[in-house]
Each structure stands twice: as C-alpha cells, then as structure tokens.
Chain A
C-alpha cells in the first residue's frame, strides 16, 4: 500500500487490536474486594478549603471529606452530626452545641470546640460569602467553655441558624492545620484534612482526584465504598458516554437530550435531586427592572406573566428537569410553600387585554413596545423561546447576549437593563436564599441581590418576623403571607423550580441526593460485580 509505513501507524493498528484486552482487566492487582465509586465532575475543584468558598466545583469533593455541626435529612430538618445534641435558649438568641467526643481528624488529632470557633471566626465569617452576608454582626460571639461544647451568641433571635450549619454551608476545618497558613491558597488547601467519611489521597489537576475510606469515621459502618475517584470531565458528552460504558458510576447532571435514552437503559438509574452542594432548591427567575418603564407598571408585569407558557419552557428548554414555578419559594421547600396564590396561566388573550387597557396599543407592525433581554450565552435557547412567546402578544424581545460576568455586572451592578435572568437557589431555608431577592435592604450594586429594585415595606417586615421565630409552624404563616403578596405584585417572573436530574449505575445504591455528602451511604447493590 503505502511505500513508507510510519511506525506510528503500526502502533495505532496494534492498539486497536489490543483494545478489548486492555479494557477488560486493566486493574492493577489490589486487595480483592476493593470497591471504587467513580464520579464525574465538570470542573476542577481548585483550592480544597470548603469554608472559604461556595463553588459548585469544590463542594462536591470536600463535602465527602468534611462535616458540619449538623446534617440535614430529606425534609431538610437538622439531624446530629458533629454536634450530638443542642439546646436553643433565649428564644433563639443562644445556641448551645454539645459535640461528639469520638471524632478524630484524618491525621489522628481530636476534634474539639476550638476547631469550631476557629472555622467561624477565621474562615466563614471572613471569606465565605453567604455566611458572612447573613451572620456578620448577627453572630456576636462563640464561647467554648470546654473542648466539647460550643455556644453561639446572636444579637437577636434567629430561627434558621441550624439550616446554615450543615457541611454545605459551614464545613468545619482543623485549626491545628490551618493556623499560620493562608486560608485561601496556603498549603493546607492542597492537602485537606477533615473529619468526614473519606480521606484525601491525591489530586492531579485537570484529571482526577482520589479519596479513600476513612476507617476511623465516627459513624460506624460508613462509608460503604473503599475508594472514591472524582474524574474531571468538563465535556458533558464525554461524561454521559463514560457513564454508559461503565467508566464512571455517577454524573451530577444529565443533559436534556440524553434523559430519555439513559432512563431506558437497564444499567442506569436516573433520579431527581433537590439539593446538594453549592446550592439547593434552585429556581430560574426572570428579573424585570421595576424601577423604570415598562415594568414599573403592574399591568404590564401581569400581562407579561400571562404571556409566558411555562409548561412549554420547562418541557422544551429545560427538558422537564423541574416544574413550572408559581412563586418565590420552590415547591421543594414543602413546609414553607403554598400553591394557593394568584396564578398566571398561559393566557394570551388576557395578556392582550391587560396591555390594551394599560394604553399600550399595537402599531402597524403589531408591536406594542420592545424590551431587551440581557442574559448569558448558556440561556440562549430560553431567549429564543421567550422571543417567540412574547411576539404573540405584541412585545418585541431584543436578545442581548453577554458572557456571564458581563451580564451579571449589567443587571446587578450597573442596573442598566430591562429584563435579566438569574438562578436563585433557595437553600435549605427561605432565609438563606429567598429573602435576599425581595427585601429592599438588599438593593445594591452586587450580584444576586434584589436586582429588580423591588421595594415593599410589608415584605421587609414579614421576612424579618419570619427569621426571628424558631417554631416552623409560626414561620410558615409568615412565608404564606409573603408568597400571596408577591404573587399579587409579581415583581419577578418565576419560571421553573429546578429538579436537576442525576444518573448513576444501578450497581451502586444509597445516594443521598438532598445533601452535599451524597457518597457517605453509597454501597454496592449486589454482593459481587463492579
């Protein structure tokens, strides 16, 4: 054939012939029953200090190595973790935690209340964006009367404190390791030491991160697998293919077009999840600029809401990974949620009527007015669908696509926009992620705040009251009122309560998908097999 066959071609040919062999028994000889769970991750974790970051790339990894003072169950109620019991005193102004005595750090040192104090004072309250924003000034003092008791003193009663203390929001880091090192980039961020079910083994940037079972974990019998490997596969196509051919066992997000195929596969289970690391119970919300026309007009906002066909959007744009949203609180926060509010079903005629009544007539082209939709490129499909839906009621939607950073700046900082979009995560409690969007004190030039510029003193008061009470039933009353009022005013357009889908191979079971530490209880489904 070719007069000068290159050596490389030979290697390629040989490789192709040998590939089935290379594939099947590629494992090195190890202890016979080592089970490895391989998880696909979309980006590099970076610095492995969970107490200074909210990154959705760091926490999936660190949440398996660390613990919080409390854990959360499926209903997002606090359960004991590093604290085995606690008392709430002074109507919620003082929280006394009694810590477990049998917890050791991965390097053998004993876990004490000094670690808790250190974590909060040096890390969380300084560098963790959400904790600092909520607790700075509110959490005045942490006392440690003995090595196994930590007392938190608050400036005023605060109901949702416990929801902020799980491993996702407040991982506890070791004082003895971090003392004297830079918390953001120091050496401990590359060799993390935690108290959790898995220990750090190694990290190759861009490739993989390996964890192994912690034999001294304080929860007996856990974890159920011996090794946990995070593979960094940023390309979703590669990740899904790897799941299908058995190279990975779990992927954290399923691209829409692949859902049907994965569901149909007998070896794979597709499961919805509500929570997890870096942000749980999220909603995609359209942000109108209510400080200027046309969205300062309530009728326009109501018409706009009626013009949206949420069902279609959820189906086509989001591939059914969620449900149409009805208000500021996702239905997944069941204890606080109610659907008994003013609804805005897809109703073009009603929208037309409202707009006509408001004085916005159609011109010769059938257009009433135009608004610009500022969004990031990953939402371009949504933009196109919205444009078509709004055309039907005579609103011209101009699409302005910027990169993520630029659009965050334009919408939240410069506030020179008509309509924007953001994903607001409610968090484990409405106080964590809902309040900041609707209170007037949170209107300012920083991201993921009250971007619409909505001011309502009644709403402000309701949120304050809801936070100052501890009993859930009481708090629910306040949140019901909030939802009813916000639905009437519709200062934001709630599109979808996200229910991200995860997929894993059926060989493994026990994934706890409502919390960050999803791998703690995973084990093999069958006694043998891989």
Chain B
C-alpha cells in the first residue's frame, strides 16, 4: 500500500502536469471534469495540490524520521554499550528531552524563527529522537549478553563496530518498524504545523490545504475531504508497514 503511495509521489510530475500554484479555475468550484477534486478559494486545482503535496509531505516525514532515528540510535546505542556514568547521563538527558512539551516546542521554534522547510524538519527531528533512543537502548542491552558479542569484544572490536556490525542487524526489525512509525508521526506533526499556518508557505503540503480549508468548510467540503483522506491513508500505510516489519512475538505498541 505504501508502494502505491511512493509510486504516486514519484510520478507526480506526470500525473498532474499543471503547476499547483496556477490559478486555473474559478474559486471554490465543486468537483467537475476539469477539476476532479474541485478548486480552492484562490481557484487552484485541489487534485493537483493533493498530488504535489504528497511529495512534500512524504519528504518531510522521511527526512525528519531518518534524522530522529539516527540521533536516537547513536544516543541509545552508546548509552547501552558504555553503561555506567555515560549511560546514566545520557538517559537523564533523554528523560529531559521527553519532558519538554514536544509539540509546543516545535510550535514555538517555528513561530519564532520562521517556517523554513529545513527548520521544520530539524525541529521535528530534535523532538522525536528520545523514543527511538529508549527502544534501541533496551534492544542493545538485550543482545549484549550474547556470546558473539563477548567474542567480538575479546577480539578488540571498538564499541562502534560492535554496534554497527553485530547489534544493528539483529535489531533491524524493531528499528525499521520504529522508523516507519516515526515517518507517520512526522508527517502528522508537519501537517499539524501547516494546519496552524506555521509551515513553509512556498511548499504545498496537505496540512496547509486543510488549514486553508477550515475557513470554507461549510461551503466547500471537497477542499477539506481529499487532503485529509490522503493524509490518513499515508499515515495508515506507514503504521501498517511498521506492524509488518516487527519481528514476530512482539505486540505492537501502537
């Protein structure tokens, strides 16, 4: 299901050749032949907007999730391997990062510094890594007792190497699942920001469409329905993917 989405996003230039920002129709026209999803309040085609929005929403989701995961892996991994004081310090830091009201922090950052795309991505990533860190640390602690790890240590492998070559492949399932969930979460976070009007206005994302739709929802239901549907289906896909990636025996935490 997610592959379908990826295909759609990649093929956006062909599926919807028009520039989504062109003002091609009357304002607020109902779905019709020329405009299968109708038009928004400036006369832009909703269908085109939704298709192009796929690319930006996905991009933000994937990049921030990747960044968050990377940070989380590093922090969690090192905490588990080094143990002792380092672990304690890193874990307290993680707790602190989790106590900060995540959503509001992102809102504050974006509203203060402006809605540039990279800033949005950075803000989301910086607030989403603690969950990954915790999970990875637990996983690492689990595998540390295994024989081959002890063997690797005896050979003199560095910590980083052990993490990379031995632990990571074992925990790949859980990590991959986590990444999937993160992508879904990041997409939702970005959509929430755009909905509030804080996202990058040069980029058309689904959240922006929904935010603009709120004003006119009583007149033009189509401007709200389609982007929202797209969002839901995408996040759904991510969650399903995550569930599928989990190794058997672990109950999904979602």
B21→A403 contact, CB < 8 A: no
Complexed CA–CA distance, A403 and B116 (Å) = 11
A384→B42 contact, CB < 8 A: yes
B41→A403 contact, CB < 8 A: no
CB-based nearest A residue for B28: A257
Tell me the minimal C-beta distance from B195 to chain A in angstroms: 13
Tell me the minimal C-beta distance from B41 to chain A in angstroms: 6
Tell me the minimal C-beta distance from B13 to chain A in angstroms: 18
B215→A377 contact, CB < 8 A: no
A237→B42 contact, CB < 8 A: no
Provide the residues of chain A in CB contact with B214, threshold 8 Å. 237
Tell me the minimal C-beta distance from B188 to chain A in angstroms: 21
Tell me the minimal C-beta distance from B147 to chain A in angstroms: 50
Tell me the minimal C-beta distance from A269 to chain B in angstroms: 20
Provide the residues of chain B in CB contact with A261, threshold 8 Å. 218-219
Given contacts A383-B201, A385-B23, A388-B21, contact A403 B111 (CB under 8 A): yes
Complexed CA–CA distance, A383 and B216 (Å) = 20
A257→B43 contact, CB < 8 A: no
Tell me the minimal C-beta distance from A38 to chain B in angstroms: 21
Tell me the minimal C-beta distance from A28 to chain B in angstroms: 32
Tally chain A residues at the interface, Cβ within 8 Å: 23
Given contacts A257-B28, A383-B201, A385-B42, contact A237 B23 (CB under 8 A): no
Tally chain B residues at the interface, Cβ within 8 Å: 24
Tell me the minimal C-beta distance from A110 to chain B in angstroms: 49
Given contacts A256-B41, A257-B28, A316-B27, contact A399 B201 (CB under 8 A): yes
B42→A316 contact, CB < 8 A: yes
Q: A236 in the interface, Cβ–Cβ < 8 Å?
A: yes
B21→A384 contact, CB < 8 A: yes
Complexed CA–CA distance, A399 and B202 (Å) = 7
Given contacts A236-B215, A380-B201, A384-B21, contact A401 B115 (CB under 8 A): yes
Q: Which of B23, B27, B115, B218 contacts A377 (CB 8 A)?
A: B115
Provide the residues of chain B in CB contact with A385, threshold 8 Å. 23, 42
Complexed CA–CA distance, A72 and B22 (Å) = 45
Q: Which of A316, A401, A403 contacts B43 (CB 8 A)?
A: A316
Complexed CA–CA distance, A221 and B197 (Å) = 47
Complexed CA–CA distance, A45 and B202 (Å) = 34
Q: B198 in the interface, Cβ–Cβ < 8 Å?
A: yes
Tell me the minimal C-beta distance from A393 to chain B in angstroms: 16
Tell me the minimal C-beta distance from B92 to chain A in angstroms: 34
Given contacts A377-B201, A401-B114, contact A257 B216 (CB under 8 A): yes
Within 8 A of B (CB), among A380-404: 380-381, 383-385, 387-388, 399, 401-403
Provide the residues of chain B in CB contact with A381, threshold 8 Å. 41-42
Provide the residues of chain B in CB contact with A461, threshold 8 Å. none
B114→A388 contact, CB < 8 A: no
Complexed CA–CA distance, A380 and B202 (Å) = 9
A403→B201 contact, CB < 8 A: no
Tell me the minimal C-beta distance from A426 to chain B in angstroms: 28
Given contacts A377-B115, A384-B42, A401-B115, contact A316 B198 (CB under 8 A): no
A402→B202 contact, CB < 8 A: no
Q: B85 in the interface, Cβ–Cβ < 8 Å?
A: no
Complexed CA–CA distance, A378 and B212 (Å) = 11
CB-based nearest A residue for B44: A384
Given contacts A237-B215, A384-B21, contact A377 B41 (CB under 8 A): no
Provide the residues of chain A in CB contact with B115, threshold 8 Å. 377, 401
B112→A403 contact, CB < 8 A: yes
Tell me the minimal C-beta distance from A111 to chain B in angstroms: 44
Provide the residues of chain A in CB contact with B198, threshold 8 Å. 377
Tell me the minimal C-beta distance from A254 to chain B in angstroms: 11
A388→B112 contact, CB < 8 A: no
Complexed CA–CA distance, A255 and B201 (Å) = 20
Complexed CA–CA distance, A316 and B202 (Å) = 19
Provide the residues of chain A in CB contact with B22, threshold 8 Å. 388
Q: A406 in the interface, Cβ–Cβ < 8 Å?
A: yes
Complexed CA–CA distance, A402 and B197 (Å) = 11
Complexed CA–CA distance, A254 and B195 (Å) = 21
B114→A257 contact, CB < 8 A: no
Complexed CA–CA distance, A203 and B41 (Å) = 37
Tell me the minimal C-beta distance from A258 to chain B in angstroms: 8
1/0 contact string of B11-50 vs chain A (CB within 8 Å): 0000000000111000110000000000001110000000
Tell me the minimal C-beta distance from B132 to chain A in angstroms: 31
CB-based nearest A residue for B219: A257
Given contacts A316-B42, A377-B201, A381-B42, contact A255 B112 (CB under 8 A): no
Provide the residues of chain B in CB contact with A401, threshold 8 Å. 114-115, 200-202
Complexed CA–CA distance, A496 and B197 (Å) = 24
Provide the residues of chain B in CB contact with A388, threshold 8 Å. 21-23
A402→B114 contact, CB < 8 A: yes
- 6 further interface pairs, Cβ-Cβ under 8 Å (given A377-B197, A381-B42): A257-B28, A261-B219, A316-B23, A316-B42, A383-B201, A384-B21
**Which residues of A does B touch, CB under 8 Å?**
236-237, 255-258, 261, 316-317, 377-378, 380-381, 383-385, 387-388, 399, 401-403, 406
9 closest A-B pairs by CB: A380-B201, A257-B216, A401-B201, A402-B114, A377-B197, A399-B202, A257-B215, A403-B111, A384-B21
